[in-house]
Chains A and B, each alone.
Chain A
Amino acid sequence: MDFRLHSAKSADHALEIAAGLKEGWRYVAGGTDLVIQLRRGVRKSDDLIDLSSIASMRGIKEDESGFQLGALCTHKDIELHEGLSAAYPALLAAARVVGGHQIRNVGTVGGNLANASPAADVAVALLALDALIDVKGRSGARVVEIDELFVSSSKTTLAPGELIERVRLPRLTGETHSAFLKVGRRKAMEISVVSAAICLAFGANGVCEKARIALGAVGPRPLRAKAAERLLEGAKIDAELIARVAAQARAECTPRSDPRASAAYRSQVVEGLVKRGISQCVRIS
Chain B
Amino acid sequence: MTAAKEFEVVGKRLNRLDGEGKVTGAAVYASDFALPGMLHGKILRSPHAHARIVRIDTTAARKMPGVRAVVTGASQKLNRFGNFIKDFEVFASERVYHVGQPVAGIAADTEYAAKQALRAIEVEYAELPAVFDVMEALDKAAPLVHPDWQSLKAAPIIVREGNRCSRTVIKVGDVEEGFRNSYRVYEHVFRTSAVHAGYTEPRVAVAQWTASDQATIWCNTQLLFDTQSTLAEIFGISPSHIRVIVPGIGGGFGGKLRLGMEHYAMALARAAKRPVRVMSSSEEELTAALFRQPTTIELKTGVDREGHILAKQGRIVVDAGACSGSGPLVASTGTMILAGPYRLPNANLEGISVYTNNHPNGSIRAPSGPMPNFATESQMDMIAEDLGLDPLELRRRNILREGDIAVNGQKMTAVGLEECLDKAAVAIGWDHRKPEHNRGKGLACGWWMTSRGSSGSYLKLMQDGTLTMMVGVVEMGTGALTGAAQVVAEEMGMKLTDINVVSADSLTTPYDFGSQGSRTMFAVANASREAARDLLGKMRVRAAKALGADEQALAMRDKAFWSGEKKITFAELAAQANTAGGGLIAEATYIAPAAEHDASRVQNHFSPSWPSPSFHVHATDLSVDDVLGEVTINRYVVAQDVGYAINPTYLEGQLEGGAVQGVGQALSEEIIIANGHVQNGNLTDYKMPTAMDVPKIEVILVTHPSVAGPYGAKGVGEPPTIQPPAAVANAVAAACGKRIMHLPITAEKILLG
Contacts and interface: CB of A to CB of B under 8 A. Distances in A.
Interface of A: 2, 36, 40, 100, 183, 185-191, 259-262, 264-265, 268-269, 272-273, 275-276
Interface in B613-630: 627-630
Given A269-B628, A276-B627, A188 B691 contact: yes
Contacts of B603: none
Given A183-B630, A185-B746, A273-B628, A268 B751 contact: yes
Given A262-B752, A265-B752, 9 more contacts: A183-B630, A186-B687, A187-B692, A188-B690, A265-B747, A265-B748, A268-B751, A269-B629, A269-B747
B671 to A, nearest CB: 10
B685 interface: yes
Interface string B664-682: 0001100010000001101
22 contacts: A2-B112, A183-B747, A185-B667, A185-B746, A186-B668, A186-B689, A187-B693, A188-B691, A189-B690, A191-B684, A261-B748, A262-B748, A265-B747, A265-B748, A265-B751, A265-B752, A269-B627, A269-B628, A269-B747, A272-B627, A272-B628, A276-B627
A273 B625 CA distance: 11
Contacts of B672: 259
B685 A260 contact: yes
Interface string B236-264: 00000000000000000000000000000
A187 B752 contact: no
A259 B679 contact: yes
A188 B692 contact: yes
A32 to B, nearest CB: 11
Contacts of B680: 259
A187 to B, nearest CB: 4
Contacts of B691: 188
B611 to A, nearest CB: 38
Contacts of A186: 668, 687, 689-690, 692-693
Contacts of B283: 40
A2, A190, A262: most-surrounded residue (chain B CB, <10 A): A190
Nearest to B678: A259
Contacts of B693: 186-188
B118 to A, nearest CB: 12
Interface in B687-739: 687, 689-693
Nearest to B683: A189
A183 B628 CA distance: 7
Given A183-B747, A275-B627, A100 B684 contact: no
A275 B283 CA distance: 38
A272 B630 CA distance: 12
Contacts of B667: 185
Contacts of A260: 685
Nearest to A183: B628
B662 to A, nearest CB: 15
A276 B630 CA distance: 14
Contacts of B752: 262, 264-265, 268
B687 A187 contact: no
Interface in B462-481: none
Nearest to B112: A2
A259 B685 contact: yes
B359 to A, nearest CB: 16
A190 B692 CA distance: 11
A36 B281 CA distance: 13
Nearest to B687: A185
Nearest to B632: A187
Contacts of A275: 627
Contacts of A190: 687
Given A261-B748, A268-B751, A100 B627 contact: no
A283 to B, nearest CB: 15
Contacts of B746: 185
Nearest to A191: B684
A66 to B, nearest CB: 32
Nearest to B744: A185
A36 B683 CA distance: 11
A259 B689 CA distance: 17
A36 B668 CA distance: 23
A247 to B, nearest CB: 14
A100 B751 contact: no
Contacts of A264: 752
Among A2, A40, A185, A188: residue with most chain B CB under 10 A: A185
Contacts of A276: 627
A186 B690 CA distance: 7
A265 B748 CA distance: 6
A268 B628 CA distance: 8
Contacts of A36: 684
B751 A269 contact: yes
A1 to B, nearest CB: 8
Nearest to B749: A265
Interface string B553-590: 00000000000000000000000000000000000000
**Most chain B beta-carbon contacts within 10 A, residue among A100, A186, A187, A259:** A186
Nearest to B116: A2
A273 B751 CA distance: 14
Contacts of A262: 748, 752
Contacts of A272: 627-628
B357 to A, nearest CB: 20
B151 to A, nearest CB: 38
A203 B547 CA distance: 99
Contacts of B630: 183
A269 B752 CA distance: 10
A253 B538 CA distance: 81
Contacts of A189: 690
Contacts of B748: 261-262, 265
Contacts of A40: 283, 682
A2 to B, nearest CB: 8
Contacts of A269: 627-629, 747, 751
A187 B627 contact: no
Contacts of B682: 40
A261 B112 CA distance: 35
B318 to A, nearest CB: 23
Contacts of A188: 690-693
Nearest to B627: A272
Interface string B283-303: 100000000000000000000
B739 to A, nearest CB: 18
Nearest to B689: A186
The 9 tightest CB contacts between A and B, nearest first, are A272-B627, A187-B692, A188-B692, A259-B679, A265-B748, A188-B690, A185-B687, A259-B680, A185-B668
Nearest to B684: A191
A188 B627 CA distance: 19
B668 A100 contact: no
A100 B628 contact: no
A2 B684 CA distance: 23
B292 to A, nearest CB: 18
A250 B630 CA distance: 19
Contacts of A187: 690, 692-693
B688 to A, nearest CB: 8
A259 B752 CA distance: 16
Nearest to B746: A185
A274 to B, nearest CB: 10
Contacts of B685: 191, 259-260
Contacts of A183: 628, 630, 747
